[in-house]
Structure 1
Amino acid sequence: MREDTSPSGGPVPWLVRPSARSWHCAPAPAEVRGFHASLPGYAPTPLTELPSLARELRVGRVFVKDESARLGLPAFKVLGASWAVHLVLAARTPGPVTLACATDGNHGHAVARLARLYGRRAHVFVPQDIHPATAAAIAGEGAEVTRVPGPYEEAVRRADEAARMPEAVLVQDTAWEGYETVPGWIVQGYSTLCAETDEQLAAAGAAAPGLVAVPVGVGSLAQAVVTHYRSRTATPATALLSVEPESAACLLTSLTRDTPVDVRTGATVMAGLNCGTVSRTAWPVLRAGLDAAVTVTDADSARASRDLAALGVSSGPCGAAALAGVRALLTGGGATERRHRLGLGPGSVVVLLSTEGRAANPHALPHG
């Protein structure tokens, strides 16, 4: 791990591993996209080009994948939850089912919405510091909400316990030993976001991206992104960047030590990225195929959120972390070396995955 100087004068913890671009894997199942297209209200989310950011970052073109309105919810999470719930229910015999999960906000909201859509019950466990408006939105879908006196990881433990009841099933977007199938389905569901991006870039006459930046909590979306781009044989390969809060850098720490590391998290406005453990199934994929990682401050993320809003893109602090991370790497002290190691030039295409919309209440910015 290196530390250079950011545009604001502070340190930029970062890691670049160009050898990851030579790693290959199998793609996500092709039928995922067709399933999502069959859902009521499905439409691809916008891919918005922002020329002013391209000039600022000194690259050819910058696009933002805007997930502020995905199937009626303010984040991408419903893509993974819907595919997983579809497969979970298909595998069960008829009868009552309660969908249990833990969340910092958007995953639980998605599971609750799907339970209502399928006529099932939902029981959602939330950490103690979740904003009341976030918990109220989940309860508004008809879900039972249990606030846990502890962090996100404790909410996951409680949800796992609740799912051991005969009529309950856990739909969690992080994996651990013995619980890997459903998180794998959730990751597959996120592949639709990548497939849409491919089609939209082609429609805009843009080259394949030189860099894709993705915010990371437990790493499930990043796993889907790595799987998508590393299942290709395109040359040159796309550089893939993970962005985490500096107070919850479980992935950057794990990559630096080359082994999964649990970290103690602190408070951050990037609530949905405030995770101290990388998903068990995501880790080997990220270790092999993710070639760049960086952390950002709350101030970096808040600035990026404001700037995107001024450009017409609704992006909360978690979603705006993608822009904050790219700014940290492509500007400031050491940027020339970082650009070279990422394989970026003045004509490169950069894609920022903005994973959530900007909430009306700036403290209610769920993601995980």
Structure 2
Amino acid sequence: MSTNPSPLWLTRPGARTWRCAPAPAGVRAFHAALPDYAPTPLTELPSLAAELAVGRVLVKDESHRLGLPAFKALGAFWAVHRALAEREPAPVTLVTATDGNHGRAVARAARLVGQDAHVFVPRGVPARAVAAIAAEGARVSEVTGPYDEAVRRAAEAADRPGSILVQDTAWPGYEEIPGWIVEGYATLCAEIDEQLAGVGPDLVCVPVGVGSLAQAVVTHYRSRPSGQAPALLAVEPETAACVLASLTAGTPVSVPTGDTVMAGLNCGTPSSLAWPYLYGGLDAAVAVPDAASLRAADDLAGLGVSSGPCGAASLAGLRALLTGAGAEERRTALGLGPDSVVVLLSTEGTPAC
């Protein structure tokens, strides 16, 4: 019998009956018109399905998206397009805070449209990720505090004339641009529908930082008729499980964050824009340790999928729930059986996170 400890997790019966409006039309067409656009692979991994006693496991591989190593380009490119369309033509500086990939995507978007970028980076972000942002031509300011402090600093810098804050988390009074970023992620979900060719997944596993990607996933699957609703699982680092803590409390809360190899998920406060969707539409949330995410990344690499610790968190979370003590109870709570189809979102490739 496995001696694995029970995971830090929460299940929420009734989430599959929650409903919301769909994402707006036009996002997919915008992305499809970009020179580097192509759907990212949905790779089936039978060995993982056998290990976890489900019918199919498929990984949405975001290691190459619009010329960058993560899904973040979908949201950043769409939001920058919308933000600049709302302004008179003039030089601007696009400002953001990032744990890595979002900042690089904003910097790339700025470079493509001939504008400047200023990116604030919190402690703990790997030097290679900082260097990749700078290589896009952005000004980079490193912050000694955590992600939330970097966001505060970015918001202050964006108050200057000629600056636009392009942040992928929201708070009261700042929700329009984060909403556009979430809209951009809808393309990822639309591709999954096409790639599954009408076979709806039974479970979708989403790595979560502030919850913007999870908001997009909830919006996609909870805007469908009741009979087409999969279970949705959020996966976070144990050291930064703000969504799990908030779902447990029933209200958004901030948690202190520590160091983690899942740097892109190292966020202490859920997005205010995402929160109603997370609270309404997530079936479960689980927190995983670094070791589990690193193991998952190594296993995915061995199966031909490039995934950093953030992207591999989805597999680590699935393993935490479907193995070890209490696994059958958790499997039942998620409605999984031997024929279930599971989609793992691998949000970024190696080595940046």
| Alignment TM class, shorter chain as reference | over 0.9
Secondary structure of 2:14's counterpart equals helix
2:348 paired with 1:356: yes
**By how many angstroms is 1:335 displaced?**
1.1
Secondary structure of 1:169's counterpart equals strand
How many Å separate the matches in 2 of 1:9 and 1:341?
A: 19
**Correspondence for 2:297:** 305
2:272 paired with 1:280: yes
Closer, same or farther in 2 for the Cα pair 1:223/1:8, shift >3 Å? farther
2:319 paired with 1:327: yes
2:148 to 153, 160, 175: 153
How many Å separate the matches in 1 of 2:229 and 2:332?
A: 14
2:240 paired with 1:248: yes
For 2:82, give the aligned amino acid: L
**Correspondence for 1:123:** 118
User: What does residue range 159-174 of structure 1 map to in structure 2 within 5 Å?
Assistant: 159-174=154-169
**Correspondence for 1:341:** 333
**By how many angstroms is 1:148 displaced?**
1.3
Q: Is the 8 A contact 2:3 2:325 kept in 1?
A: no
How many Å separate the matches in 2 of 1:21 and 1:136?
A: 42
2:202 to 205, 210, 224: 210
For residues 154-203 of structure 1, the C-alpha deviation after alignment (integer angstroms, 9 at most, x for no partner) is 1111110111111000000000011000000000000000000010011x
How many Å separate the matches in 2 of 1:337 and 1:10?
A: 14
For residues 222-275 of structure 1, the C-alpha deviation after alignment (integer angstroms, 9 at most, x for no partner) is 000000000001515200000000111100010011011100011110001110
**By how many angstroms is 1:128 displaced?**
2.9
Alignment gaps of 5+ in structure 1: 360-364
Worse overlay, 214-223 or 234-243:
234-243
**By how many angstroms is 1:41 displaced?**
1.0
For residues 5-30 of structure 1, the C-alpha deviation after alignment (integer angstroms, 9 at most, x for no partner) is 9x562330111112010001111012
**Correspondence for 1:48:** 43
Question: Displaced runs of 4+ in structure 1, greater than 4 A?
Answer: none
How many Å separate the matches in 2 of 1:161 and 1:326?
A: 39
**Correspondence for 1:238:** 230
**Correspondence for 2:179:** 184
For 2:300, give the aligned amino acid: L
2:127 paired with 1:132: yes
How many Å separate the matches in 2 of 1:303 and 1:44?
A: 27
**Correspondence for 1:71:** 66
How many Å separate the matches in 2 of 1:10 and 1:180?
A: 39
**By how many angstroms is 1:211 displaced?**
0.2
How many Å separate the matches in 1 of 2:216 and 2:255?
A: 23
**Correspondence for 1:271:** 263
How many Å separate the matches in 2 of 1:142 and 1:323?
A: 34
**Correspondence for 1:362:** none
Closer, same or farther in 2 for the Cα pair 1:58/1:264, shift >3 Å? same
How many Å separate the matches in 2 of 1:8 and 1:302?
A: 20
**By how many angstroms is 1:333 displaced?**
1.2
* TM-score, reference length from structure 2: 0.98
For 1:347, give the aligned amino acid: D
Secondary structure of 1:18's counterpart equals coil
2:109 to 103, 114, 124: 114
Closer, same or farther in 2 for the Cα pair 1:222/1:8, shift >3 Å? farther
Secondary structure of 1:259's counterpart equals coil
How many Å separate the matches in 2 of 1:207 and 1:133?
A: 39
Worse overlay, 60-69 or 129-138:
129-138
2:104 paired with 1:104: no
For residues 74-98 of structure 1, the C-alpha deviation after alignment (integer angstroms, 9 at most, x for no partner) is 0000000011000000001011110
* TM-score, reference length from structure 1: 0.94
How many Å separate the matches in 1 of 2:111 and 2:160?
A: 20
Aligned-pair RMSD on alpha carbons? 1.1
2:245 paired with 1:258: no
For residues 113-155 of structure 1, the C-alpha deviation after alignment (integer angstroms, 9 at most, x for no partner) is 0100000000001113322211111111111011112111111
For 1:33, give the aligned amino acid: R
> How many residues are matched?
353
How many Å separate the matches in 1 of 2:276 and 2:66?
A: 30
**By how many angstroms is 1:218 displaced?**
0.3
For residues 58-116 of structure 1, the C-alpha deviation after alignment (integer angstroms, 9 at most, x for no partner) is 11111000000001100000000011000000001011110000001100000000100
For residues 306-346 of structure 1, the C-alpha deviation after alignment (integer angstroms, 9 at most, x for no partner) is 00000000000000000000011111111111111111111
How many Å separate the matches in 1 of 2:190 and 2:228?
A: 19
